[in-house]
Amino acid sequence: MEKDAAKARIAELVEEINRNDRLYYVEARPVIADADYDRMYEELIALEKEFPEFKDPNSPTVRVSGAPLEGFAQVRHDPPMKSLDKCYEKGDLVQFDAFLRREMPAGAAWRYVVEPKVDGVSMSLLYESRRLVRAATRGNGEVGDDVTQNVRTIRSIPKTLPEDAPETVEVRGEVYMTRDGFVKLNESLDEAGRQTFMNPRNACAGSLKLLDPKIVATRPLDMVVYNAGGVGCEGFASHTEMIAAFRRWGFPVSPWSRTATTIEDAIAAIDELGENRHGFRFEIDGAVLKVDERSLYAGLGATAHSPRWARAYKYAPERVETVLRDITVQVGRSGVLTPVAELEPVELAGSVISRATLHNADQIAEQDIRIGDHVWLVKAGDVIPAIDGVLTEKRTPEIVKYVFPDVCPVCGGAVVRLEGEVAVRCVNPGCPAQLQRRLEHFASRNALDIKALGGRVADILVDKGLIKDPLDLFALDYDALQSLDVGENGATRKFGKNALNMRDAVRLARGMPLDRWLFAVGIPNIGATVAKDIAAEHERFSDLPESAVLENVIQNDMKKGKDRKILPIKVEAAKAVLAFFRSEYGAAFASRMRELGLDPKRAEKETVKTEGPLVGAGCVLTGTLSRPRTEYAKMIELAGGIIQSSVTSKTRYLIAGENVGAAKTEKAKALGTEVIDEKRLLELLGAVEAAEVPRIPVQGTLF
Ligand code: AMP
Ligand code: ZN
């Protein structure tokens, strides 16, 4: 490609990908198929590699190819990033109102705004020429860390601003980790034997401090923008108006806010927020009460610590006292021993809790948690029950220090603590507990999807000695399995027809693509996404044990500089896969695969058809359809069709779902467009027999 053309194409791709990130992550209305997004992303990676001189610092490829930093530069904040005055009682809010009445100029009237107080990390974003040029943490308020590289990996944060935004503007807000993302992150850290995070805020702060943006990119971070910075926001008369502009400019803003004219109404709003406070995707630790009229801010001024036009109200933390009846120790799929607190059931933040994870031996030792203790129970990140301290004054003499088991509680085998890990692992390859969890994982939805094989059936199959390795599934006598007793609590229940369902699912599993198989094996650190990335670079399963590609990933990492080939595979992952196949168990697994004639192949790349009724045909989708629009768009594009957003003279088909006005179809007909229904579309796609179309109504008109 010519240099000029490459430069223009890179700019176009960066803009298009960033625009689609906004549609997906901020507005929650994706307009293109995943495959198209991936295609653009891959094209951009390739072009940037060929023409590194045109690489845009705001390129979305920072997620896979940003180079690690040595450390963070310092940024001075002007004006300083202040904190908020906090209060814990409603009476303090009434006093705040009285304070404002005294301080405000005579005759001044104002409204209040109530917003959630997002519990994350304060962040300043600076845009110059409407491009993100700097992101900095609050630090001590005067000076913070330049974390631009890391913040660029957050997809909901706009990298460029639209024309109606000022050329130069600084906005401030809170970067947070989503609550369910936090739960998943901790689960995978536990499984990998690594230290977990206390709550989403710590996880967020920890992620932003990472020097390698590629790892930051995998962390579920997002942002809420709620404040003006030092430049570009002078023109707004009110806070509400400013937030509306932020939203227009593409910033993620708070999904909830209320205005009130009296302090009583403001307090009612704070109560309303309090009731809903566990329902946000971010954790909140209070409400923020602000004066809406920005013109009144200067008169009120600020203390060294905080502005005088706002107050934070902190909700009382929800914690309850209960008794720790026992500590049980579970053994995971990679042998990690996880202690679990068995509690006297109590209600906390809307649910009854009887168990809480204790993560690892260190955590128990640090808090000196003992069986029989009275403990405080909280919800970490509003979701995960956790023990937050012991009421030592209630401890009786017979309550003795807890000793973590030094053998596996299931198989009695030796346990070890590996260098650099907090976890203790059972290293017996024949441990039934590990096998049960491995088998369950093998059959899980993103692995080989064997629905009849849930946790309980896995336990029974292993306990009865019917399965000694997941691959035994391919040699089981399923007819005999029909009489297996899978009853619970003393009741008998035959496995019956489910045995045959299981047999069918196992047969289907033979044909599953490589990425699912690689995930199913259950190698530490190889999640479903990582498995896809690795599978994309290999023809078949038998290529993995001696993979030159994986060797190269490891070698390349040692080589810095230009000829580093960029693959989305991380060194850690490459090492884990090779180490697995070099282990005794991995080698045996691979040879058993060969014996069973199993050699899963890479999934076929979806290719666009060049023949058929939809090739080159402009298509517009409208009305209520029985499948998500993105799914149809993808199917049409793979069949060679072109998705259009509105009917033009180039439109061949208007696919009309339900509730489409006659005016629309008439107009289409006048332009020479054929109006067809969903059934006809499926015939054209050659996808399904028309009779099979499921009718699940999807809300709303799609275009
Ligand atoms: P704290 O960190 O507890 O001293 O509380 C003050 C901090 O709350 C501010 O510096 C902001 O980072 C944060 N904060 C979270 N949500 C908001 C919001 N909606 N408005 C203002 N500040 C907020
Ligand atoms: Zn064991």
Instruction: Kindly report the CATH number assigned to the domain that includes residue 146.
Output: 3.30.470.30
Residue among 86, 174, 294 to mutate when testing ligand 1 (max atoms within 8 A of CB): 174
3-state secondary structure at position 440: helix
Residue of 613, 664, 638 whose CA lies nearest to 35: 638
Q: Whose CA is nearest to atom 23 of ligand 1?
A: 117
* pLDDT score recorded for residue 697: 32
The H or E element containing residue 329 is strand 320-331
Confidence of residue 323 (pLDDT cuts 50, 70, 90): very high
Q: Is the previous residue joined to 79 through a cis bond, with omega within 30 degrees of 0?
A: yes
Residue 232 shares a structural domain with residue 328: no
Residue of 276, 248, 272, 247 whose CA lies nearest to 259: 272
**Among 509, 529, 558, which residue terminates a domain?**
509
Residue among 81, 82, 83 to mutate when testing ligand 1 (max atoms within 8 A of CB): 83
Residue 439 shares a structural domain with residue 556: no
Confidence of residue 430 (pLDDT cuts 50, 70, 90): confident
Residue 376 shares a structural domain with residue 345: yes
Residue 256 shares a structural domain with residue 140: yes
**CA distance between the termini of the chain:** 36
3-state secondary structure at position 221: strand
Q: Is 115 in the pocket of ligand 1 (CB under 6 A)?
A: yes
Q: Regarding beta strands 337-348 and 320-331, do their DSSP bridges make them parallel or antiparallel, or are they unpaired?
A: antiparallel
Sheet with strand 131-137: strands edge to edge: 131-137, 121-128, 169-177, 221-228
Indicate which CATH number applies to the domain containing 679.
3.40.50.10190
Indicate which CATH number applies to the domain containing 569.
1.10.150.20
Does residue 366 sit within a domain?
Answer: yes
How do residues 615-657 score in pLDDT, each as one tens digit?
A: 889 999 988 887 777 778 888 888 889 888 888 888 999 999 8
What's the CA-to-centroid distance between 461 and ligand 2, angstroms?
17
Indicate which CATH number applies to the domain containing 331.
2.40.50.140
* pLDDT score recorded for residue 208: 96
**DSSP-assigned letter for residue 195:** P
Residue 502 shares a structural domain with residue 531: no
Residue holding tokens 């060929």? 50
Side-chain-side CA neighbours of residue 634 (13 Å): 15
DSSP notation for 149-167: HHHTT-TTS-SB--TTS-S
Residue 102: partners with Cβ closer than 8 Å, 6 or more residues away: none
- Residue 349 pLDDT greater than 90, yes or no: no
- The mean pLDDT value of the chain amounts to 90
Does residue 606 sit within a domain?
Answer: no
Ligand nearest, relative to CA of residue 82 = 1
How do residues 224-281 score in pLDDT, each as one tens digit?
A: 999 999 999 999 999 999 999 999 999 999 999 999 999 999 999 999 999 898 889 9
Confidence of residue 694 (pLDDT cuts 50, 70, 90): very low
Residue 221 shares a structural domain with residue 143: yes
How do residues 187-197 score in pLDDT, each as one tens digit?
A: 888 877 788 88
Count the neighbouring beta carbons within 10 Å of the beta carbon of residue 587: 13
How do residues 666-693 score in pLDDT, each as one tens digit?
A: 888 888 899 998 888 888 887 543 333 3
Q: Whose CA is nearest to atom 10 of ligand 1?
A: 83
**Among 259, 284, 314, which residue terminates a domain?**
314
Residue 146 shares a structural domain with residue 293: yes
Catalytic annotation, residues = 117
Q: Is 119 in the pocket of ligand 1 (CB under 6 A)?
A: no
227 or 662, greater pLDDT = 227
Does residue 203 sit within a domain?
Answer: yes
Confidence of residue 564 (pLDDT cuts 50, 70, 90): low
Q: Based on DSSP, count helices (H) and strands (E) in the chain, helices before strands.
A: 24, 22
Does residue 665 sit within a domain?
Answer: yes
Ligand nearest, relative to CA of residue 330 = 2
Token pair for 24: 């997906």
Enclosing domain of residue 658? 618-692
Residue 365 shares a structural domain with residue 464: no
Does residue 612 sit within a domain?
Answer: no
* pLDDT score recorded for residue 382: 64
Indicate which CATH number applies to the domain containing 17.
1.10.287.610
What's the CA-to-centroid distance between 697 and ligand 2, angstroms?
49
3-state secondary structure at position 336: strand
* pLDDT score recorded for residue 150: 95
Does residue 680 sit within a domain?
Answer: yes
d(CA 379, CA 510) in angstroms, rounded, equals 42
3-state secondary structure at position 289: strand
Residue 117 shares a structural domain with residue 174: yes
Give the range among 356-365, 404-413, 442-451, 624-633 with minimum mean pLDDT. Answer: 624-633
Does residue 369 sit within a domain?
Answer: yes
Count the neighbouring beta carbons within 10 Å of the beta carbon of residue 248: 12
* pLDDT score recorded for residue 13: 95
Q: Whose CA is nearest to atom 16 of ligand 1?
A: 117
Q: Whose CA is nearest to atom 18 of ligand 1?
A: 117
Residue 166 shares a structural domain with residue 309: yes
Give the range among 71-75, 400-404, 455-459, 486-490 with minimum mean pLDDT. Answer: 486-490
* pLDDT score recorded for residue 565: 55
Residue 303 shares a structural domain with residue 329: no
Classify the C-alpha dihedral 446-450-452-457 as positive or negative: negative
**Among 486, 509, 532, which residue terminates a domain?**
509
- Mean local confidence (pLDDT), 122-149: 96
* pLDDT score recorded for residue 690: 34
- Residue 444 pLDDT greater than 60, yes or no: yes
Does residue 409 sit within a domain?
Answer: no
What's the CA-to-centroid distance between 205 and ligand 1, angstroms?
14
- Mean local confidence (pLDDT), 535-547: 95
272 or 609, greater pLDDT = 272
Q: At what angle do helices 678-685 and 629-638 cross, to 10 degrees?
A: 30
Q: How many domains does the chain have?
A: 6
Residue 89 shares a structural domain with residue 211: yes
d(CA 131, CA 150) in angstroms, rounded, equals 16
d(CA 363, CA 93) in angstroms, rounded, equals 39
